C-alpha cells in the first residue's frame, strides 16, 4: 500500500468519525467539501449547523470524542466560549459548526464548495431503535375476523352440548318463571293494619282530668 493511498484512507476514516459525531447530536445540513486543490493545510472542510449555543457546544464535544475514539489525536477547538461559530481543527479535516444565521451570513460554501464530497449520512453505529426493528418479528397476532369466527364456533359448541350444571341452572330458571309470586291475602293485611291501630289507641297515655275548684258556700247573715 502506497503512502498516498494510506493517507487517503486515513482521511476518509477521520471524515466518517466526524460525521458520526455530528449525527449523534442531531446536527443539521451536514456538508463535506474536498479542499486539496485549494489549500495544502487540510484536505476536507465539514460544515454543519446547530440551533443554539448549547447544541453547537455539544456538537463540538461529540466530534472531539468521536475523533479520539477513532484513534486520531485530540483536535483543537476554537470559539467554544460563545457557541455561535465553533471551529474544530482535526488536522486533515476542519469542521465548522455554526448557527444558521452565521452560516447564512458568512456563506462558507461559496468559498470551499467547489468539490462537494458524496456523503453517506446515517451513523455507522445502529441506534437502539434500529436494532430493535431488525429483530425477527414475533408471531403475528390473529386477524380480528378469524378471532371472531373462532369465538363464534366455541359459543356454538357450548350451546349444542351444555354441561350438567348449565342444564340444572336453566331448569331452575324455567321453574321460577312458571310459578306465580305468592301474595299475602288482602283480608289478613287489612286485619293487621286494624290491630296496629287499636294497639296504638290502647297504649296511648291518658291525660288526668283537670281538678275543679271547690264551690264557695254563701252564708246568710241575720239582721
Per-residue pLDDT of the chain (223 residues; tens, 9 = 90+): 577 788 888 999 999 999 999 999 999 999 999 999 998 899 999 999 999 999 999 999 999 999 999 999 999 999 999 899 999 999 999 999 999 999 999 999 999 988 999 877 665 444 333 334 334 444 344 445 445 545 554 455 455 445 556 666 777 777 666 655 555 455 554 445 555 444 444 454 555 555 555 655 555 555 4
CB neighbour class for 31 (10 Å; exposed up to 12, middle 13-18, buried from 19): middle
Query: Which residues sit opposite 77 in a β-bridge?
Result: 88
CA angle 79, 83, 86 (to 5 degrees): 45
Structural domains in the chain, sorted by start: 8-122 (3.30.460.10)
Stretch (H or E) spanning 77: strand 76-78
Q: Dig out the grid coordinates for 85 from the structure.
A: 461559530
DSSP 8-state assignment for residue 59 = H
Query: Which residues sit opposite 34 in a β-bridge?
Result: 44
pLDDT of residue 216: 57
Mean pLDDT of the chain: 74
CB atoms within 10 A of CB 95: 29
- 81-to-38, 77, 102, 103, 213 alpha-carbon distances in Å: 29, 10, 16, 18, 117
What predicted TM-score, i.e. pTM, was given to this entire model? 0.55
- Asked if 25 and 58 count as a contact pair (C-beta separation under 8 A), the reply is yes
Amino acid at each position: 500500500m502506497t503512502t498516498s493511498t494510506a493517507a487517503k484512507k486515513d482521511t476518509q476514516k477521520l471524515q466518517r468519525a466526524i460525521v458520526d459525531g455530528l449525527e449523534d447530536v442531531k446536527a443539521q445540513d451536514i456538508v463535506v467539501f474536498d479542499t486539496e486543490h485549494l489549500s495544502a493545510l487540510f484536505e476536507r472542510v465539514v460544515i454543519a449547523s446547530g440551533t443554539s449555543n448549547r447544541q453547537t457546544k455539544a456538537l463540538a464535544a461529540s466530534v472531539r470524542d468521536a475523533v479520539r475514539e477513532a484513534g486520531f489525536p485530540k483536535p483543537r477547538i476554537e470559539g467554544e466560549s460563545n457557541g455561535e461559530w465553533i471551529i474544530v481543527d482535526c488536522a486533515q479535516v476542519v469542521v465548522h459548526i455554526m448557527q444558521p444565521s452565521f452560516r447564512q451570513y458568512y456563506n462558507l460554501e461559496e468559498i470551499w464548495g467547489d468539490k462537494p464530497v458524496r456523503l453517506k449520512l446515517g451513523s455507522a453505529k445502529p441506534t437502539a431503535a434500529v436494532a430493535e426493528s431488525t429483530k425477527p418479528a414475533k408471531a403475528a397476532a390473529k386477524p380480528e375476523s378469524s378471532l371472531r369466527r373462532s369465538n363464534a364456533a366455541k359459543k356454538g359448541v357450548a350451546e349444542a352440548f351444555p354441561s350438567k350444571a348449565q342444564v340444572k341452572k336453566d331448569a331452575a330458571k324455567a321453574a321460577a318463571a312458571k310459578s306465580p309470586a305468592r301474595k299475602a291475602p288482602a283480608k289478613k293485611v287489612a286485619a293487621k293494619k286494624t290491630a296496629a291501630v287499636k294497639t296504638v289507641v290502647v297504649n296511648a297515655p291518658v291525660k288526668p282530668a283537670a281538678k275543679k275548684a271547690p264551690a264557695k258556700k254563701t252564708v246568710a247573715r241575720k239582721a
